[in-house]
Amino acid sequence: MVKKVLFICTGNFYRSRFAEAVFNFHADRRNLPWQAFSRGLAIHWAEGSLSPYTAARLSAWQIPLTYTGPTRVQLTEKDLAAAEICIALDRQEHLSMIQEQFPAWSQLTLYWEVPDLPMIQPEVALPAIESHVLYLLDHLPK
């Protein structure tokens, strides 16, 4: 049975989609019984399907876009319940949003510290996300 990791950010446009693709690519290469999906807390705040920064970095690292979802998706409680691990990309940005929208899940969600643009540039944010994802893959429950 495939276990699920949920990556959460604001618009499901940039950071969470990148984390999803990196996770799925490496989990597939390692033959792990895990799959990631991603959602946004406020997808109406972003336009377009996928950040050009995400697409460019995935291309540079030869990770096919098929490892991320085809479009942005709003987070629901059903999504949270479907995942064994829920990770929001930035505690400062996302904790209050999760507390407001899904109060029962705020303490069950893990929080990374990868701020959105313009607080941190993609040249810093995307490698940080990749490092977090690779660490997670190395430490998944068996």
Listed by start position, the domains of the chain span: 3-138
H or E segment and range at residue 86: strand 85-88
Ordered mean pLDDT values, 10 residues apiece, the chain (142 residues): 96 94 98 98 86 95 95 97 97 96 97 81 89 97 76
Q: Is this structure's pTM higher than 0.85? A: yes
Burial of residue 57 (number of CB atoms within 10 Å: 0-12, 13-18, 19+) = buried
CATH topology of domain 3-138: Rossmann fold (3.40.50)
